[in-house]
Amino acid sequence: MKVREWDPGTAPADELEAVLRALNDIVASDVPEDPPWRETMFREYLAVTMPGERRTSWLATSDAGEILGHASLLALEEIGVLELSVVPGARRGRVGTALLAAVARRAAEEGFESVGVEVIGGTPAIKFFEAHGFECAFIEMRNVLDLGGVDWLRLGEMAAGISAGYRIEYYPGGPPPELYAGYAAAKEAARAAVVEDLELRPSSYDAERLAASLRTLHGRGLKPYIVLAVHEQTDTIAGLTEVVVPAQRPTRADQYDTIEVPSHRGYGISRAIKARMLFELRAAEPHLVDVQTWNALENEPLLKVNAELGFKPDREWREYEAGVPDLLRRLKAS
């Protein structure tokens, strides 16, 4: 078995296809309810990053060149975010440990004190990372909405249920540039009220970073859809919801942030904008089968809204963290 650094941006097409097959073998084993990945913009999904961020990837291969596993380290401002997966037939053969060692060494070289990882509940990855000293720092619940079971009449009532004095606006592809500053300001205003996690998913709290984030989403093959609630008296953004449809998995949409600016809570904003989003998705993406979203267990108001819309709890999504020096010591001793 060999571990080598790997660049998906320049990798040969046949090698990229082999990585895609390995990923789908892992999906079929660990999360069989999830849709398989497609080759459409798969290279871009793995290679494109935000300005100022760096992603390093590795492959583990057998002596015959067969893909056994893949890992990557995304360098954010304060933490290194790792991804690691091993094909089912190669597990318990120290493939994951070898990949983790490569990631840990690079994290130390990059000067990171800690690394974080998102782990899907109910998969072997839980025991793997805990065995290597990772500690669970945050838990979310993934909820999935089957669009085939939506009560569209009831949903229409929800979409119209926003209080007087607010209007709803829809922007496929992302908000126009003239709204960037207000959009980012709304996210910043709601930030303090959100349960803190490890921030393993980059967010945009200023206009410049929002513009870069939208370019990056499109560059990776992720089409954003935005619905806003605008306070008419002040013409400011009072709430927003974001959904992304990946070219690599076009039957399942990913719900990103849904927020209400604290001073505008209690006016039915979240329910109305999320309901309106589902109507827009039905028209724009007729091939969609379902929508997945993640919510902190403490976020009872949004969990209630999601339940009213028809979302069903699916799996825990855990964020784990480990100190890099301690991780290197453990790996050396293992």
Which domain CATH number covers 192?
Answer: 3.40.630.30
The span from the CA of 314 to the CA of 142, in Å, is 5
**155 and 290 together in one domain:** yes
Q: Looking at residue 197, what is its pLDDT?
A: 53
In a domain, 146, yes or no: no
Q: Is the pLDDT of residue 209 over 80?
A: yes
Residues 326 and 284 in one domain: no
124 with 7, same domain: the answer is yes
Q: What's the domain range around 222?
A: 151-309
Both 272 and 301 in one domain: the answer is yes
Task: Tell me the torsion sign for CA atoms 215, 217, 223, 225.
Answer: negative
Mean pLDDT of the region 15-29: 98
pLDDT-derived band at 298 (thresholds 50, 70, 90) equals: confident
Is 176 in the same domain as 204? yes
Dihedral sign for Cα atoms in the order 84, 255, 268, 203: positive
Residue 17 CA, chain-centre distance (Å), reads 23
Check whether 193 has a pLDDT greater than 70.
Answer: no
Average pLDDT on 182-186 reads 92
**pLDDT for 199:** 54
The pLDDT assigned to 201 comes to: 52
Residue 7 domain-assigned?
yes
Q: For residue range 279-290, list pLDDT tens digits in order.
A: 999 999 999 999
* CA–CA gap between residue 314 and residue 312 (Å, rounded): 6
38-63 pLDDT, tens digit per residue, is 999 999 999 999 998 999 999 999 99
pLDDT interval class at 7 (50, 70, 90):
very high
Within this chain, do residues 129 and 104 fall inside the same structural domain, yes or no?
Answer: yes
Residues 167 and 300 reside in one and the same domain: yes
What's the pLDDT at 313?
A: 95
Residue type, 130: E
Report yes or no on 108 lying in a domain. yes
Name the pLDDT band for 256 (thresholds 50, 70, 90): very high
Element spanning 317, H or E: strand 312-323
Q: 224 is written with which tokens?
A: 């954003």
Q: Say if residue 329 is in the same domain as residue 282.
A: no
Q: Helix, strand or coil for residue 97?
A: helix
Residue 223 makes CB contacts below 8 A (sequence gap 6+) with 172, 173, 217, 244, 245, 246, 247
- In whole numbers, what is the pLDDT of the chain averaged over residues? 94
Lowest-confidence region among 135-139, 190-194, 298-302: 190-194
Q: Given this model, what pLDDT does residue 305 score?
A: 93
Q: Is 187 helix (H, G, I), strand (E, B) or coil?
A: helix
Cβ–Cβ under 8 Å, residues 31 and 120:
yes
The answer to whether position 290 is within a domain reads yes
Nearest to residue 271, comparing CAs of 143, 151, 150, 163? Answer: 163
111 with 205, same domain? no
């990798």: which residue's tokens?
11
- Does the pLDDT at position 77 exceed 80? no
b (16+ CB within 10 A) / e for 185-197: bbbebbeeeeeeb
Angle subtended by helix axes 300-309 and 269-284, to nearest 10: 40
DSSP 23-56: HHHHHHHH-TTSPPP-STTHHHHHH---TT-EEE
DSSP 201: S
Examine the domain organization and report whether 114 and 162 are in the same domain.
no
- Within-domain flag for 116: yes
pLDDT, tens digit (0-9, with 9 covering 90-100), for 141-153:
999 999 999 999 9
Whether 187 and 294 share a structural domain: yes
Contact 74, 53 (CB under 8 A): yes
Q: Is residue 191 part of a domain?
A: yes
Residues 68 and 165 in one domain: no
* Structural domain count, the chain: 2
Mean pLDDT of 288-317: 93
Q: Give this prediction's pTM.
A: 0.92
